[in-house]
Amino acid sequence: MASKNTQLRAKDKADSEVHLSHSQTDSPILDVNSLQKLHEFRPDIVDFVLNQTQAESEFRRAETARINNRIFIERILGILLAGFVCVSGIVGGVWAASKGHEKLGIAIAVSCIGTLAVAFITRKKQ
């Protein structure tokens, strides 16, 4: 639910002060005064507004749960794939070393582990 708050203050040399505050939200919830005015104008529509507000809040909760679930899956898959890349690099380094290319094997294994470590460290800082 996005909201925006704006405050403005002005003061002149004679110590007169003006203060303006405005809040804006994308929530469909009406405040009590608006509901009372609506009830005076159209009493039959207040229940409709309340029902629609409840339906919207249920939809937002479900949408938030879906988004959180997908973010969790994305992060777990990222960690698993990073582990797979690291293990593959180590296996490739060991295989190259066993074929007689010791320096190449060490370079491959160290570059995979180092790149993964740098990626995790910089991710934590952001």
28 pLDDT higher than 80: no
More confident of the two residues 33 and 77: 77
Cα–Cα dist 97/44, whole Å: 81
Q: What is the pLDDT of residue 110?
A: 93
Q: What is the pLDDT of residue 31?
A: 73
Cα–Cα dist 60/2, whole Å: 12
Cβ neighbours of 97 (radius 10 Å) = 16
> What would the mean pLDDT of 91-117 be, rounded to a whole number?
92
22 pLDDT higher than 80: no
More confident of the two residues 5 and 113: 113
Question: How many domains, in total, are found in the chain?
Answer: 1
Residue 113 · residue 86 · CB < 8 Å: yes
How many percent of the chain have pLDDT more than 70?
Answer: 91
- Domain annotation covers residue 65: yes
- What domain range is 108 assigned to? 30-124
- Domain annotation covers residue 19: no
- pLDDT band for position 35 (50/70/90)? confident
Q: What is the pLDDT of residue 65?
A: 96
Digit-coded pLDDT (tens) for 57-84: 899 899 999 999 999 999 999 889 988 9
Q: What backbone torsions phi and psi does residue 29 show, to the nearest 5 degrees?
A: -75, 130
Mean pLDDT value across the chain: 86
Query: How close are the terminal C-alpha atoms of the chain, in Å?
Result: 24
